[in-house]
Structure 1
Amino acid sequence: MLRYLGPGILLAGAAIGGSHLVASTQAGAHYGWSLLGILLLVNLFKYPFFRYGQRYTAATGESILEAYVKLGRGYLFLFFLLNLFTGMANIAGVSMITGSLATNFGVSGVSVPVLSGIFMLTSMLIVMLGGFSLLRRFGKIIVAVLGLSTVVAVIISLISGPAGDPAYAGESPWTMASFGFVIMFMGWMPAPIEASVWPSLWMKSQQKLQKKSFVMREAMTDFHAGYYASVFFALVFLVLGKMLIYGTGTVLSPQGTVFARQLIDLYSIAIGEWSRPLIVVVAFSAMFSTTLTTIDAYPRALANSTRLLFPIAENRFRAVHVFWIISGVAGSFLLIQYFVDQLGDMLSLAMILSFLAAPVFAFLNYRIMFLDNVPEMFRPKPWEKTLSVAGMFFLIGFGLVFILWYFFS
């Protein structure tokens, strides 16, 4: 079964650093268990739309970007523009945190922006020289290391008990002041819905690598392994935030580099200084996994979008792909160098835009499952239709409430 795993696990690796390590930890640290229900609900309601991404490719042999074109080129262009902005902001943000965490390994005399650039360059070389095969192997190893070390950290924190005052009653997330965080939390939980394109594209790469097509059972096994792992890690980091930070009086910084240092220090103090290496490995594994995966995913999606929007010869696709990889890394490094103070705001905006666009991509992913090239046996079952409609209402409802909150609060 392990040989089928890849695309779904890679998505889990991308989700962990993008939303879980930072947003889930902050949710637990600021609000305790208050956002646990929202975490579970948003993962439930996004579930069918991520599932359709890999299911469509297994059923038809096409990526869902090709399906978007069939529904209308404007939808693909919307995807292209959204990924162009969120991609560079995300790569820059996760690379900064990765570079900051690397200072805990005794690296001295090198600035965090330079370390971030080194990790982006390393990831770029892995993606360009090793291709999907090396990315897939790295992804499995990193997620396995992260899973083992995180479980150990959670067990220790549960045995030790809450670090904060047991009688502490924190602020409610259901206030006007906190609602923006709730929307950002949901936007990339477990990942933005447009990220469902990534496993679809990785599936096509894995098919070429293994010289065989996915059967539906294999595709769904891979999807569920990745999605359940992503939900598990989201829960784990919320638990860590609740057990180690909630009620201690510590305010987590919104700046990624400061947050990374706080996270290591707080966990080490709460669990014991002996645990510092374990916490460093957990956090660094999460962030390097995300850096590596996003540097493959965003350029891959942009390159395939370019190919479909502006038809190019097949033998020129590799050059287009390399162009987007280099452009993504270069653009992200420039953001780190010259706009580092605005990077947090950019990431917040990217999360909000992803959430507001979520109903559109949710509808598209649902709609493509009824295209003529999808066999009847692979189309959504009644329970999937019900969950999909409920999910779209959930996303639209919160989106409308956020718009009202933004303009009238």
Structure 2
Amino acid sequence: MIPSVKFRTFLKTLGPGILFASTAIGVSHLVQSTRAGAEYGFALVGFILAANLFKWPFFEFGSRYATATGRSLIDGYQMISPWYSRLYLLINLLSMFFVNAAVTFVAAGFLQNLFAIYPPPAFYYVPSLVLLCFSFGFLALGRYSLLDTGIKIIGSFMLISTLLAFFIALFKGPQSPVVYEPFSKWIGLESLPFVIALMGWMPSAIDSSTWNSLWTMERSKQSGYLPSVKETVFEFNIGFWTSAILSLCFVVLGAYLLYGTENSLPDNNVGFASGVVRLYAAQLGSWTFPIIAAAGFTIMLGTCIGVMDGYARSTARVISVMQGREQKPAAYLWWLGLITLGGFLVITLFMDAFNQLLSLATTISFLIAPVIALLNYRLVFSDHLSKADQPGTAMQLLSLAGIGFLVLFSLVMMYYSWWG
């Protein structure tokens, strides 16, 4: 009887962790992790593991803080200082259009590949516009309830199809011997921008930790159940570490199918999507083509919807908090519309520079990561949370190490950009 009760309460909590994983497993995994394996074999696995490990506390803090206090991280920023809320709003405004454009642009490539859609040059933007409008309509009509249900379906298909492709690749073996290259393979300055971009969204941008806190609160409202901090953290960790494991699966797929061969991935969204799907299908068996194509599209569709909701929800919230009044229902819809329009305009500017768009978006995310990490650390290890609700000493030490890690690589990136 006790296990069944625990399982039922877990189902009432289940949602935000899956939503996080579905949002994370997009560009960082499908694009960047695959490229890492294709171009460097397993040489960058250490960076991927480090990014997942050192960012983990700051995402976990979002879910922990929301359950322990009944407030979002954004509310916490305002309570410490109004300047933190203003800083967070600035970060959102600097990144939302580029991030939304990047994930939509990639998703449009997989949409075109899945349904063999090849519009004439004059209408090259139509697939991206369709996805932006679909995401807007999906969220405007269903809000969190439809988001929660849809992401669970998308996430399940994504997990099954990705693992299927991964195990088939392991069974068949690599196309060319894959070895762990010495440091000299990637330590050169020419590789640094890719390494920074890879870690920028691995597994996701740290500013999306505020989304976790908002989603956690919405899930409690939807289910009518207020979980304990332990239950919330457990549910979130399932989603987080699932996404971490899948990032390694994509590295293996890229390494086994591309590394050491004459094949490469094109520098445009349709070419990249087609290249990934057709290469996987050619090596894993032609029967896998619809599975790989559908998996790629559903992965990116889930990311598109999650990213748009996260930015709209968090921006509407931070503005209402700064104004000191209840959030108006129309504010969420207004920001959804603005993000849709802004993302579309960015796509029209970067249509012929696929990799540059991804690098710009991921680099922005990486450079602002230390700021959000510091804010989250200060909130969780404060009198906002009781000692019982705060993480243990090991997590505190890991979070301090994570802040150091993020600051170090941000400084390296700035040095390379200005003086390298």
Distance across 2 between alignment mates of 1:87 and 1:41: 25
State how 1:210-249 maps to structure 2 within 5 Å: 210-249=223-262
Q: Does residue 1:122 correspond to 2:144, yes or no?
A: no
Whether the 8 Å contact between 1:45 and 1:388 is mirrored in structure 2 is yes
Task: Quote the offset at 1:312 in angstroms.
Answer: 4.2
Find the counterpart in structure 2 of residue 274 from structure 1. 287
SS at match of 1:341: coil
Distance across 2 between alignment mates of 1:104 and 1:257: 7
Structure 1 residues 8-27: Cα deviation after superposition (integer angstroms, max 9, x where no partner):
11111111113111110011
Whether the 8 Å contact between 1:28 and 1:238 is mirrored in structure 2 is yes
SS at match of 2:125: helix
State how 1:193-204 maps to structure 2 within 5 Å: 193-204=206-217
* Range with bigger deviation, 284-293 or 210-219: 210-219
Q: Residues 100 and 71 of structure 1: is their aligned pair in 2 closer, same or farther, counting only changes over 3 Å?
A: same
Q: Does residue 1:373 correspond to 2:384, yes or no?
A: yes
Task: Quote the offset at 1:165 in angstroms.
Answer: 5.2
> Which residue of 46, 49, 61 corresponds with 2:70?
61
Distance across 2 between alignment mates of 1:8 and 1:139: 11
Q: Residues 202 and 408 of structure 1: is their aligned pair in 2 closer, same or farther, counting only changes over 3 Å?
A: same
Q: Does residue 1:382 correspond to 2:410, yes or no?
A: no
> Which residue of 355, 364, 382 corresponds with 2:366?
355
State how 1:102-251 maps to structure 2 within 5 Å: 102-108=111-117, 110=119, 113-164=125-176, 172-251=185-264
Distance across 1 between alignment mates of 2:20 and 2:94: 19
Structure 1 residues 307-329: Cα deviation after superposition (integer angstroms, max 9, x where no partner):
11234444xx2111110001111
> Which residue of 388, 392, 402 corresponds with 2:413?
402
**RMSD of aligned alpha carbons:** 1.9
Equivalent position amino acid for 2:383 in 1: D
Q: Does residue 1:392 correspond to 2:403, yes or no?
A: yes
Task: Quote the offset at 1:330 in angstroms.
Answer: 1.4
Alignment length, in residue pairs? 407
Whether the 8 Å contact between 1:57 and 1:203 is mirrored in structure 2 is yes
Gaps of 5+ in 2: 1-9
Distance across 2 between alignment mates of 1:241 and 1:135: 30
* Range with bigger deviation, 296-305 or 65-74: 65-74
Distance across 2 between alignment mates of 1:229 and 1:167: 25
State how 1:69-80 maps to structure 2 within 5 Å: 69-80=78-89
> Which residue of 85, 94, 97 corresponds with 1:88?
97
Task: Quote the offset at 1:353 in angstroms.
Answer: 2.0
SS at match of 1:222: helix
Equivalent position amino acid for 1:218 in 2: E
Task: Quote the offset at 1:288 in angstroms.
Answer: 0.7
Distance across 1 between alignment mates of 2:276 and 2:127: 19
Task: Quote the offset at 1:78 in angstroms.
Answer: 2.1
Equivalent position amino acid for 1:133 in 2: S
* Range with bigger deviation, 133-142 or 394-403: 394-403
Q: Residues 212 and 239 of structure 1: is their aligned pair in 2 closer, same or farther, counting only changes over 3 Å?
A: same
SS at match of 1:163: coil
Q: Residues 168 and 296 of structure 1: is their aligned pair in 2 closer, same or farther, counting only changes over 3 Å?
A: closer
SS at match of 2:43: coil
Q: How does the TM-score come out when normalised to structure 1?
A: 0.94
Structure 1 residues 41-68: Cα deviation after superposition (integer angstroms, max 9, x where no partner):
1111111111111101111100000111
SS at match of 2:382: coil
Task: Quote the offset at 1:167 in angstroms.
Answer: 8.1
* Range with bigger deviation, 89-98 or 22-31: 89-98
Task: Quote the offset at 1:244 in angstroms.
Answer: 0.7
Q: Residues 339 and 180 of structure 1: is their aligned pair in 2 closer, same or farther, counting only changes over 3 Å?
A: closer
* Range with bigger deviation, 75-84 or 289-298: 75-84
Whether the 8 Å contact between 2:144 and 2:218 is mirrored in structure 1 is yes
Q: How does the TM-score come out when normalised to structure 2?
A: 0.92
Find the counterpart in structure 2 of residue 4 from structure 1. 13
Task: Quote the offset at 1:75 in angstroms.
Answer: 2.0
* Range with bigger deviation, 65-74 or 252-261: 252-261
Structure 1 residues 201-224: Cα deviation after superposition (integer angstroms, max 9, x where no partner):
011111221233232122112211
Q: Does residue 1:263 correspond to 2:276, yes or no?
A: yes
* Range with bigger deviation, 130-139 or 169-178: 169-178
Task: Quote the offset at 1:268 in angstroms.
Answer: 1.8
Structure 1 residues 136-190: Cα deviation after superposition (integer angstroms, max 9, x where no partner):
1111111110111111101111111112356897982211100111011111100
Gaps of 5+ in 1: none
Whether the 8 Å contact between 2:370 and 2:403 is mirrored in structure 1 is yes
Q: Does residue 1:101 correspond to 2:120, yes or no?
A: no
Equivalent position amino acid for 2:311 in 1: Y
SS at match of 1:96: helix
